[in-house]
Structure 1
Amino acid sequence: MATSRFIKDSGLTARMTLTMFLLGALFVGLVSLVIAYVNSAGGAVAVAAIAIGIAFWQWWSSDKVAMRAMRAREVSPEEAPELHGMIDRLCALADMPKPRVGVSDLPVANAFATGRSPDRAVVCVTTGILQRLDAEELEAVLAHELSHVAHRDVLVMTIASSAGIAAGLLMRFTQFGGMGRSRGNNNSALPVALVVLLVSLAVYAVSFVMLRVLSRYRELCADRSGAYLTMKPAALASALQKISGESAAATPTKDLRTANSASALCIVPAFAGGLSGLMATHPPLQQRLEQLARIQAELSRPNG
């Protein structure tokens, strides 16, 4: 099994599972509202089908979309022998299939992994990160990215996004008069379009926040899994400090616009001025460093 040698974190897994359940409940509740409040169930079925279709397309083409957004290209072992060698060793340690390897011609130091399954995944690094990290730091970053692949994080995030997609579609439909009258034709009731619009807006907002909570859990889990795989949490901590410091100081605006759609996939946000707090896709650097420090202390104990 691809994830058998990545250490599990039951606490993080439970929180991610709860978040996924709540997002699923939002999706079901939204569809049920349309069925109950609109004359025909056809609108709800159409919205659900389109939302699922969009989510499926995002999952199916995730590797191509991310590679294009990051201006990346696949490289062979002959073109990047050291990079391939590191990934070969890590995949052997993790007992997982080797993903394709890509390089993005961006000066920003970053890395990402994507793909619809471990067999169809790609791990990509920028030329900036290759120039700035030493071998141990780069290996730690690659272990983090391989954890995303092994745990099928792209699939998890795609499924979780369905509620937000459906809510966005409903908002569009109501703006263009796509919703009919409510059952009973009660003239004193709010127009159905207004009700659906308000509920869709609320579901979209809640889904937006919860997706980012899930994304932050996902990053913490990948940090933890990658650190235990290499047994070098300090190397990952050092890499995160280098990458985050550079990103905050001198990330080219033009490159950031190009990387926007793939920002959530990167080991650190692609945007120096990205959202923070509840809106952030990544945990605060300090929280990540504290977790890695605890792992380092645990591994340093005589019986660790």
Structure 2
Amino acid sequence: MAGSKFTPDRGLTTRMVATMSLLGILYVAFVIALYLVGMPLWLLILVVLGFAAFQYFASDKIAVFSMGAREVSPAEAPELHAVVDRLCAMADMPKPKVAIARTDVPNAFATGHNEKNAVVCATTGIMRRLDTAELEAVLAHELSHVAHRDVMVMTIAGFLGIIAGFLTQMGLRFALFSGGARSNNNGPAPAVVALLVVLVSAIVWVLSFLLTRVLSRYRELSADRAAAYLTGRPSSLGSALTKINGDMARIPTNDLRRAEPFNAFFFTPAVSKKGFSFSQLFSTHPPIEQRLSQLSDISRQLGTGA
């Protein structure tokens, strides 16, 4: 976040370092465990390196493409570019690419593993529903993700879970198709190796999933704080949150389901439950009540009521 005027968040930095350290330890243990249970070394290296490169370099492009978003020029979307220009000037940060996703689902997201290829995207649904101050607050939230580099951190953090999930599915399928086939070198049967890979991968997937979810919820609260302090209008962000969550109920269920896989990228999840429930432990975002409460506290601290 060097050079950015977004409010520094030591808590976020500490949590990102701690999460990445724990995931790094888990990653090493995962690779060793897979090798010990009999997964061929060449296959292990191919899967790990292949997925690492794909996840790091292509995740942003996949997110933009999957949402049907398209980069727009200042001539095509002058008002949206004006808001981003103003925020980048206020935050003293490079301007990212600007995109629009043509969907009525009211949302916004930022992606990109570094500032050079960062993209901030707003949907036509959110642009239609929010006034300029509210849209500015939402985009400030998204730009803070870029400035804090937590888009890159979440991309890397999610890598381990993707590999573990992939190996779990492939291992189960291989075990079913290999049946009772025996090993050619008096070692464990292929089905046994596959089931051991599934067991190890499933455990790693659960642990990495929980770690990234905890970090994801905190980073959303951090982005809310950063946006509120940068714009000086926490109530605009709170108003945007209230509007968007209220209007989500009017969006066709099929549209919400199609957008749900990208909840981790979004300003607010496409499908969420109000209040606390056990499922909140697995959510990418904190409850809206917690976010609004934090913004109310910031309003009182600023003493503006804004």
For the aligned pair, the TM-score class normalised by the smaller chain equals 0.7 to 0.9
Q: Are residues 1:161 and 2:158 paired? A: yes
Q: Are residues 1:18 and 2:18 paired? A: yes
Q: Deviations over 1:36-87 (max 9, x none)?
A: 343xxx7356335423432432332233222222222222111221111111
- 2:227 is aligned to 226
- 1:202 is aligned to 203
Deviation of the 1:236 alpha carbon: 0.6
Structure 2 segments unaligned to the other structure (5+ residues) = none
Q: Classify 1:113/1:132 alpha carbon distance in 2 versus 1 (closer, same or farther; 3 Å).
A: same
Between 25-34 and 167-176, the greater mean CA deviation after superposition: 167-176
Q: Deviations over 1:203-241 (max 9, x none)?
A: 111222222112112211111111111111111111111
TM-score (norm 2): 0.85
Structure 1 segment 115-264 matched on structure 2, within 5 A: 115-175=112-172, 176=174, 191-247=192-248, 249-264=249-264
Between 47-56 and 238-247, the greater mean CA deviation after superposition: 47-56
Q: Classify 1:172/1:262 alpha carbon distance in 2 versus 1 (closer, same or farther; 3 Å).
A: closer
Of residues 271, 290, 293, the one that matches 2:293 is 290
2:40 and 2:149 map into 1 onto residues whose CA distance is 32
The code of the aligned residue for 1:120 comes to N
SS at the partner of 1:155?
A: helix
2:72 and 2:215 map into 1 onto residues whose CA distance is 31
Structure 1 segments unaligned to the other structure (5+ residues) = none
Of residues 293, 298, 302, the one that matches 1:299 is 302
- 2:69 is aligned to 72
Q: Classify 1:165/1:71 alpha carbon distance in 2 versus 1 (closer, same or farther; 3 Å).
A: closer
Q: Over aligned residues, Cα RMSD in angstroms?
A: 2.8
The sequence identity of aligned pairs, in percent, is 53
Q: Are residues 1:59 and 2:62 paired? A: no
- 2:4 is aligned to 4
2:264 and 2:87 map into 1 onto residues whose CA distance is 23
Deviation of the 1:108 alpha carbon: 1.8
Q: Deviations over 1:75-132 (max 9, x none)?
A: 2111221111111111011111111111111112111111232111111111111111
- 2:103 is aligned to 106
Structure 1 segment 271-282 matched on structure 2, within 5 A: 271-272=271-272, 276-282=279-285
Would you say how many aligned residue pairs link Structure 1 and Structure 2? 293
SS at the partner of 2:40?
A: helix
